[in-house]
Structure 1
Amino acid sequence: MKLKICGMKYPENILEVGALLPDYMGFIFWKKSARYCNENVPELIKTIKKVGVFVNQSQEEILEKVEKYNLQAVQLHGEESVEFCSALKEKLPKKIEIIKVFSADENFDFEIIKPFENVCDYFLFDTKGKLPGGNGTTFDWTILKKYNSKKPFFLSGGIGMNELKAIEEISKSNLPIYAVDVNSKFEIEPGLKNKNLLSNFKRKFDVANF
């Protein structure tokens, strides 16, 4: 299981967290976010994939950010349509991954994800809340039993140290969980991550070998 650390903002902190060697690091390019990244993103070791997070933004803006920051993945956190994802996939270099986010609660209808299977590389399930992300709360993971796709997905939404046991339990299922996405539970302030806390989490995460 991969680890993604999202909501990175400050260059020095990015390098500190990058030294922990997560598989993905996320940078939010939505201006309304408290974690909006408008800084220079330093070079990271090539094993870390840089993810740009966008919310209902134009394809032109996404493509510009991909080139400017040398992104390896694009995370669509808004209400982007199948047609939007398909057109974007055509314009992006083939190696760039597309992650489509769905905000989940007990009423989530998994049928709506079906049309996205051929235009996205991964799905990401986050907690439905006031903001598109970073709400700091988990959703009821038991609803994932209704997941009827083979598409690998990221598990997100208020994941912290206390969720390691639950991750271990859900990893025993047949669900195609590709990665865990952490953010707000490891922050000193929005966009500034606690390196020591993340280091402790990653050490336990790696030992668990989900």
Structure 2
Amino acid sequence: MTTAAPAPAPEPRLSSHLNIKVCGMKYAANITEVAALGPDFMGFIFYDQSRRHARPELQAEQVRALPASIQRVGVFVNETTERIQQHVAEYGLNLVQLHGAETPAQCAELQAAGIPVSKAFAVGAEFDFRQLEPYAAHCTYFLFDTKGELPGGNGTTFDWQILEHYRLPVPYFLAGGLSLAHADALRRLRLPGLFALDLNSCFETAPGRKDVPLLTEMFRLLRP
């Protein structure tokens, strides 16, 4: 088995703007255009049931060639630790995002292998924050997405004010149907633990192909 040697994930940056992740990338020219906008994170989905599944279009060399300022995130759903490690090594991933029913034990296993973990949780009308506690010691980040039929990319938002009750020390990404219409509210959003915004399905011309002018405007509004 190929052993992973990922670059360390960045320390949470408490800056004047929220960090931005653009997720669901797969096409070479589109990756280059989006990278030029300067996102903090770029996500690549390695889940074969997703319409944004990165393979076979995605080339490992292009992911590795991204600027060091952009953290490379691999998104997995109920994948084995061995396969995740293989992807980390092949694509030079800095962070893995687990978007399925992964256990705290698997997060700890990846952490012990030197792989930073972001564990995603689906949020509905209510959310029991106690379920996060077994994961907290083994995750660099959490990600909160809208509960829906798919593991992610449902294109709908949840009530962000639920996160006012968040009390754990793990910083998190806010995902779930974020669009240009939310830019002003997101820029003014003040929630405990909020670290980054995850932009995906509402900024596409087709699954996996990002609308660069739309993203450009979103970046301008979020980073005045």
Q: TM-score range by the shorter chain?
A: over 0.9
Identity %: 45
- Find the aligned partners of 1:128 and 1:179 in 2 and give their Cα distance: 19
Shift of residue 199, structure 1, vs aligned partner: 0.7
- Find the aligned partners of 1:132 and 1:47 in 2 and give their Cα distance: 28
Are positions 1:116 and 2:135 aligned together?
yes
Are positions 1:162 and 2:162 aligned together?
no
User: Which of 177, 184, 198 is 1:181 aligned to?
Assistant: 198
User: Which of 48, 52, 69 is 2:91 aligned to?
Assistant: 69
AA aligned to 1:29 is F
AA aligned to 2:110 is L
Within-5 A mapping of 1:1-210? 1-38=18-55, 39-41=58-60, 42=62, 43-91=65-113, 93=114, 96-171=115-190, 173=191, 175-207=192-224
AA aligned to 1:73 is L
- Find the aligned partners of 1:98 and 1:29 in 2 and give their Cα distance: 15
Structure 1 segments unaligned to the other structure (5+ residues):
none
Shift of residue 204, structure 1, vs aligned partner: 1.1
Shift of residue 167, structure 1, vs aligned partner: 1.2
- Find the aligned partners of 1:167 and 1:196 in 2 and give their Cα distance: 19
Shift of residue 150, structure 1, vs aligned partner: 2.1
Structure 2 segments unaligned to the other structure (5+ residues):
1-17
- Find the aligned partners of 1:152 and 1:65 in 2 and give their Cα distance: 24
What are the superposed Cα offsets for residues 87-112 of structure 1, whole Å, 9 maximum, x if unpaired? Answer: 11112x3xx42101000012211110
CA-based RMSD = 1.0
Shift of residue 170, structure 1, vs aligned partner: 2.3
What are the superposed Cα offsets for residues 120-160 of structure 1, whole Å, 9 maximum, x if unpaired? Answer: 00000000000000000000111112212121100000001
Indicate conservation of the 8 Å contact 2:184/2:222, yes or no. Answer: no
- Find the aligned partners of 1:142 and 1:46 in 2 and give their Cα distance: 34
Q: Aligned to 1:117, what secondary structure does the other structure show?
A: helix
Indicate conservation of the 8 Å contact 2:110/2:116, yes or no. Answer: no
- Find the aligned partners of 1:169 and 1:70 in 2 and give their Cα distance: 34
- Find the aligned partners of 1:6 and 1:180 in 2 and give their Cα distance: 10
- Find the aligned partners of 2:50 and 2:22 in 1 and give their Cα distance: 16
Q: Which residue of 1 aligns with 2:9?
A: none
What are the superposed Cα offsets for residues 150-197 of structure 1, whole Å, 9 maximum, x if unpaired? Answer: 2110000000111112213322x4x11110000000000000001111
TM-score calculated relative to the size of structure 2: 0.88
Indicate conservation of the 8 Å contact 2:187/2:222, yes or no. Answer: no
- Find the aligned partners of 1:169 and 1:205 in 2 and give their Cα distance: 9
